[in-house]
Amino acid sequence: MPRIKQDEPDTHRAMHVVNHLRTLIENGDLLPGDKIPPEREFARSLKVSRASLRTGIGYLAAMGVMKVRHGVGTFIADGPAEFGKTSFSLMGVLHGFQSWQMFEARLILESHLAALAAERGKQEHHAALADEVAEMFGAMDNPSDYIVHDLLFHRIVSQASGNPILAALIETIMSALYDKRRKTVERSIDLRESAEMHREIYRAIRARKPEEARRLMEEHLRMAETAQGMESAADRKAAKTARMGKTARVKPSSITS
């Protein structure tokens, strides 16, 4: 089993966890429905902190690879079915899918899913949504953790709709957007506003108000698109500044004859 250096950054260690679990899955050592070892034992065997282990598992949970059942354990996901994310990403590259186009598709689908969730959602869905809202408010100082709970909230909404086909479609789109946003979320400035909006959506679903749930979801997704655009712009600006600084530091000295 590979060892992970303790002096590596937390994000790097978390990605080692992700890659290790991915290898176990690809090799058939972990199968759908299998339970991974307890957190303390698994973190010790990988030579990482429990926080890094949780972050790595959080990434995989957000991508639908793993499922965390509070009080029970963490399992390799055995459903629901998803359309091929790799194929979707490849199509995006080949055909130039734009973020605004994916947000538009998400807006059309997910606003209706929220309305269906308000009509069909069960008590277990309401409880799970409440848990994720609480987790979002608790992760205000940790954007990487926040977006994991953000995505899980939306996944529960889609499951509560009772339509696994629509849930699979939106899962594919959300996963593609998540891959992009986790690279820029550290520059987010609206996490509290976002958490408040999720709470309002949850309340509308719990109160069985489909039109209100639809409206709030539309409003939230429009805000999310704007926020992600701002994060991406800030990330590009920071990268450009860093490149310019690096160029200035390596300017060749004047050559005299």
Domains and CATH numbers, the chain: 10-76 (1.10.10.10), 85-232 (1.20.120.530)
The whole-number pLDDT of residue 233 equals 59
Higher pLDDT, 185 or 41: 41
The whole-number pLDDT of residue 172 equals 80
pLDDT higher than 60, residue 204: yes
Where does 30-142 have alpha helices with state H? 39-46, 50-62, 85-95, 99-120, 123-138
The whole-number pLDDT of residue 188 equals 67
8-32: per-residue pLDDT in tens?
446 788 888 888 988 888 888 888 8
pLDDT higher than 50, residue 6: no
The whole-number pLDDT of residue 78 equals 74
Which H or E run includes 152? Answer: helix 143-160
- How many Å apart are CA 185 and CA 181, to the nearest integer? 6
215-238: per-residue pLDDT in tens?
999 999 998 888 777 655 555 565
Q: What is the mean pLDDT of residues 201-208?
A: 98
The whole-number pLDDT of residue 160 equals 97
**Angle at which helices 143-160 and 191-206 pack, to 10 degrees?**
20
Average pLDDT, the chain: 80
48-99: per-residue pLDDT in tens?
998 889 888 888 887 677 888 888 888 988 755 454 555 555 456 555 677 7
Q: What is the mean pLDDT of residues 34-60?
A: 89
**DSSP assignment string, 190-250:** -HHHHHHHHHHHHHHHHTT-HHHHHHHHHHHHHHHHHHHHHHHHHHHHHHHHHHHHHHHHT
- How many Å apart are CA 230 and CA 38, to the nearest integer? 39
